[in-house]
Amino acid sequence: MKVVNFNKIKGEEVSDPGAKDVTVRWLISKNDGAPNFAMRLFEIKPGGFTPYHQHQWEHEVFILKGDGSLVTEGKASPLKPGDAVFVPGGENHQFKNVSEEDLIFLCLIPHKV
């Protein structure tokens, strides 16, 4: 059993091509013995964004703070605190911060990526 506050976990800059001002903290991972999926917390600064990309694994997301936009093929969906987001594998997607405060959300992925 593990209990840890997110702010005790070091944030790492996301250096993937196409990312701007994004930090990730791995809250629960294989290192904790989690057998199936990982919990990460992302922070995007105002004006920042994740890459517009796709991959074979899904995302399960929960918006904690800030206002964002989820860009998918031909569409942009507003995001606000309390929103749950499911992005299936194989769909292009990008998370953008469109607010003046940090956009903070959880994003969970299966290990088998």
Residue ranges binding its own copies (CB under 8 A):
1-7, 27-28, 32-37, 39, 41, 58, 60, 62, 64, 70, 72, 77, 79-80, 82-89, 91, 93, 106, 108, 110, 112
Interatomic CA distance for residues 25 and 54, integer angstroms? 21
Name which of 1 and 15 has its Cβ closer to its own copies. 1
Name which of 15 and 84 has its Cβ closer to its own copies. 84
Name which of 44 and 79 has its Cβ closer to its own copies. 79
Two tokens, residue 23: 């930090």
Minimum distance, C-beta of residue 98 to its own copies, in the bound complex (Å): 14
Find all residues with CB under 8 Å of 18, minimum gap 6, and list them.
49, 50, 51, 52, 53
